[in-house]
């Protein structure tokens, strides 16, 4: 573990708690957790911050996924299929992460996020209807596995911020899920993307395990609390948090790009 003061450790644990809550509701916990690690441990290489972030996040995401599966109508089989594609994609993204500058991706992600925000604002009914019953069309399953699983999984391993949010939006759009069910399904998929990226970072020796274990306890608590609140308050609450996270992510990326 790096030599950090008790104050910094306490702030990192608080960030892990809040990130777990945000991630469970609508994704995007990395928006808070990764910058906290980069700022709190400035002498630690960025790759180790990324790897430690994954080690923390997978614990909270797993806790949230278990909470959702117990209480929400998650199609676990479909989520696992998407998740396996996401795992492979995230391992590929993590493999290429060391050789790609984040400055290349930031402008693209900014444009995509602004488009997402405009779409959600202009379509207030998006994700508020009930999830469809009965079998899902094969074409939608293939699109979900390839585009949502493989594509967003690759992005998660390569860059990361906003992965959970992109998963929620993509699952809502492709499979016509309501936002609560999409959040629940996204948690199962996100466990796989985190596992794939974490395996690659661990293989490269880029995980601070003792720091990650401490922060993971708080991330787990936040994740379980966030999942329960999303289930209790419904799609309208998730939509509000979604917009806050999207605009926060836009502001963060814009600051990184031009500040």
- Specify if 213 maps to a domain: yes
pLDDT at residue 215 in the model: 95
Q: What is the pTM of this model?
A: 0.77
Contact 38, 172 (CB under 8 A): no
Domain count, the chain: 1
- Specify if 32 maps to a domain: yes
pLDDT at residue 104 in the model: 62
pLDDT at residue 212 in the model: 94
Q: Give the separation between CA 234 and CA 131, rounded to whole angstroms.
A: 13
Of 118, 97, 116, 109, the C-alpha closest to 254 is: 109
- Specify if 252 maps to a domain: yes
Would you give per-residue pLDDT tens digits along the chain (259 residues)? 667 888 989 999 999 999 899 888 877 787 788 888 888 887 888 888 888 988 999 999 999 999 988 887 788 888 888 989 988 888 888 777 666 555 666 676 677 777 767 776 776 665 555 555 555 677 778 888 888 888 888 887 777 667 777 888 888 888 888 888 888 888 888 888 788 888 888 998 989 999 999 999 999 999 999 999 988 888 778 878 878 877 887 787 777 777 6
pLDDT at residue 52 in the model: 92
Contact 223, 164 (CB under 8 A): no
pLDDT at residue 137 in the model: 74
pLDDT at residue 126 in the model: 57
- Specify if 1 maps to a domain: no
**HSE of 192 in the Cβ direction (CA atoms, 13 Å)?**
26
- Specify if 29 maps to a domain: yes
pLDDT at residue 58 in the model: 92
- Specify if 235 maps to a domain: yes
Give the range of the structural domain holding residue 175, as residue numbers without chain letter. Answer: 6-258
Contact 127, 249 (CB under 8 A): no
């Amino acid at each position: 573990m790096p030599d950090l003061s008790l104050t910094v450790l306490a702030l990192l644990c608080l960030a892990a708690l809040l990130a777990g809550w945000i991630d469970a509701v609508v994704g995007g916990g990395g928006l808070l957790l990764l910058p906290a690690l980069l700022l709190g441990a400035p002498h630690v290489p960025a790759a180790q911050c990324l790897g430690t972030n994954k080690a923390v996040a997978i614990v909270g995401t797993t806790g949230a996924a278990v909470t959702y599966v117990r209480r929400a109508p998650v199609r676990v089989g479909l989520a696992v299929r998407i998740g396996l594609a996401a795992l492979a994609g995230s391992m590929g993204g993590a493999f290429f992460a060391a050789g790609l500058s984040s400055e290349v991706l930031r402008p693209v992600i900014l444009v995509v996020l602004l488009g997402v925000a405009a779409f959600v604002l202009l379509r207030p009914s998006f994700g508020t209807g009930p999830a469809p019953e009965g079998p899902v069309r094969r074409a939608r399953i293939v699109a979900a596995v390839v585009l949502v699983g493989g594509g967003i999984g690759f992005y998660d391993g390569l860059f990361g911020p906003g992965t959970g949010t992109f998963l929620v939006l993509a699952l809502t759009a492709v499979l016509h899920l309501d936002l609560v069910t999409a959040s629940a399904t996204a948690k199962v998929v996100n466990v796989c993307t985190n596992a794939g990226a974490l395996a690659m970072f661990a293989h490269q020796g880029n995980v601070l395990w003792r720091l990650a274990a401490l922060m993971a306890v708080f991330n787990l608590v936040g994740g379980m609390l966030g999942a329960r609140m999303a289930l209790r308050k419904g799609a309208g609450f998730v939509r509000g948090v979604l917009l806050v996270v999207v605009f926060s992510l836009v502001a963060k990326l814009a600051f990184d790009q031009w500040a």
